[in-house]
């Protein structure tokens, strides 16, 4: 990973000065999914429509049980990064990062998940 693609200030990811590009995050996730670590990583991650923070999310038939991912949120930032299991393309590693997220109204997370779901559904069903 190119050190220019990330800045780690406090090691927790909570500093306003921590930075990582989606590409760098995807590379870390790809490294984590190497055969010797794959089962451990998958067991630790929430699974769409099944367990963890994704239990009640992405439950439509195309995405249910197909997304192993970690959510993340700090002030004005919302993330979802992990693995999407597809029939045609195998496992697709992804990182969806939203900076300057200002929507705090009722249903804000549902609206964001609708966008994320549309992106992931498009990937899952891509020819």
Over residues 84-94, the pLDDT tens digits come to: 999 999 999 99
- CATH code, domain with 87: 3.40.710.10
Residue 47 lies in a domain: yes
Over residues 14-68, the pLDDT tens digits come to: 787 888 889 999 999 999 999 999 999 989 999 999 999 999 999 999 999 999 9
Contacts of 76 (CB under 8 A, 6+ apart): 99, 100, 101, 102
Q: Is 91 helix (H, G, I), strand (E, B) or coil?
A: strand
Residue 59 lies in a domain: yes
* Count of structural domains within the chain: 1
Other beta carbons within 10 Å of 9: 12
- Give the bridge partners for 19, in sequence order: 7
- In the numeric block, the tokens 């490294």 are attached to 31
Residue 62 lies in a domain: yes
- Report the greatest alpha carbon distance in the chain: 43
Full-model pTM: 0.90
- In angstroms, the CA 64 to CA 34 distance is 24
Domain range for 116 is: 22-124
Residue 109 lies in a domain: yes
Residue 67 lies in a domain: yes
Residue 14 lies in a domain: no
Task: Please give the C-alpha separations between residue 18 and each of 13, 25, 73, 104, 107, in angstroms, as whole numbers.
Answer: 6, 13, 13, 23, 28
CB 91, CB 84: distance < 8 Å: yes
């Amino acid at each position: 990973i190119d050190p220019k693609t990330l800045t780690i200030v406090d090691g927790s990811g909570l500093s306003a000065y921590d930075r990582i590009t989606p590409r760098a995050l995807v590379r870390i996730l790809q490294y984590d999914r190497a055969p010797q670590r794959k089962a451990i990583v998958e067991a630790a991650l929430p699974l769409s429509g099944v367990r963890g923070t994704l239990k009640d999310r992405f439950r439509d038939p195309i995405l249910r049980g197909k997304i192993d991912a970690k959510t993340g949120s700090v002030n004005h930032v919302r993330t979802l990064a992990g693995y999407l299991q597809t029939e045609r393309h195998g496992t697709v590693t992804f990182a969806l990062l939203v900076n300057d997220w200002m929507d705090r109204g009722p249903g804000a997370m549902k609206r964001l998940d609708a966008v994320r779901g549309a992106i992931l559904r498009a990937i899952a069903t891509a020819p």
